[in-house]
Structure 1
């Protein structure tokens, strides 16, 4: 007989496989297809390890950041991916994601459900240095993709530099040096005439 705790953990592991089927507006850097949420989360986890020296506050808990970026989009299994520049879609995004968090995280044993939910809430509210750094990476990663795909998503949706800057300003809060880098990428694409 399978232990009830292990049963719940395995059911959760099976459930989160669905993240591989949630596709984002961002395309892969080789331009072959759209990126899925699982790939996005993995990319952020590696970025957290490699770029932690640029966090606004020193001595952050990198393992905590990695946990946050790996779980932050699990809610999209139910809520779907909402394009960050979609004003209509963003109107009820928080409500959809809260409902998804309630269902998905509560599949786990109660202690793990609480830990994961607390991490997700911390990330969403950006209430710690780790959450602010994780959120900075979450904004930076699509910028890097756009920079390396000739502004694909920006040009496809006619996104202006003002919109990009407004959306990505929170990078400064979590990683000022990365925000300076991001602004250079944006400026270069404005100068090239790729974005207005």
Structure 2
């Protein structure tokens, strides 16, 4: 007979399969297909592994990977909020808190508390691991939009100031990656795929 812990863990694993159905506004690199949250989280985990040497400070890479893999699980219930949404703030909301408690609460108590704490740490963005994880979260859509002739910037009329304002979070986790990101943003303006209001 399976243990109570195992049954709870399997229930959680089945529940998070729903992340594969949460569509993001951004499209895959060089593609018209929208990315889903599971693909996004996987990509961030790989980016964190590959780019860890560029973090401003040495990080616990396993913790960073945990952060990026679980950070959007709450969107199963709360939905994806577009980072440039003018109506809804892209920050920790009451809906996300309720979702975190429900979804992570499917797990055994200690495991649920651990993942909620990791999720909260990512959302707060104050530790070196959270800062680096958040830099990955801001870099990936930048790579996507620059590969798609402006992607969501063009589709939703997002200008340079908004992009620069949201992307400068990258600097908190990695000065080196921020330098690269700034270069991509500037090149996007030069190519005309990102509008700079004067």
If the length of structure 2 is used for normalisation, what is the TM-score? 0.95
Match of 2:154 in 1: 155
Match of 1:31 in 2: 31
Match of 2:113 in 1: 114
Is 1:65 the counterpart of 2:68 in the alignment? no
Inter-CA distance 177–192: structure 2 relative to 1 (3 Å threshold): same
Match of 1:104 in 2: 103
Residues matched between the structures, number = 195
Match of 1:82 in 2: 81
Match of 1:180 in 2: 179
1:107-146 superposed Cα distances (whole Å, 9 cap, x missing partner): 1001100110010000000121001000000000100111
Give the Cα separation in 1 of the matches to 2:17 and 2:53: 31
Give the Cα separation in 1 of the matches to 2:70 and 2:80: 14
Q: Is the 8 A contact 2:92 2:123 kept in 1?
A: no
User: How far off its partner does 1:89 sit?
Assistant: 2.3
Give the Cα separation in 2 of the matches to 1:34 and 1:91: 19
Which of structure 1's runs of 4+ aligned residues deviate more than 6 A? none
Q: Is the 8 A contact 1:79 1:93 kept in 2?
A: no
C-alpha RMSD over aligned residues: 1.2
Q: Which runs of 5+ in 1 are unaligned?
A: none
Q: Which runs of 5+ in 2 are unaligned?
A: none
Match of 1:170 in 2: 169
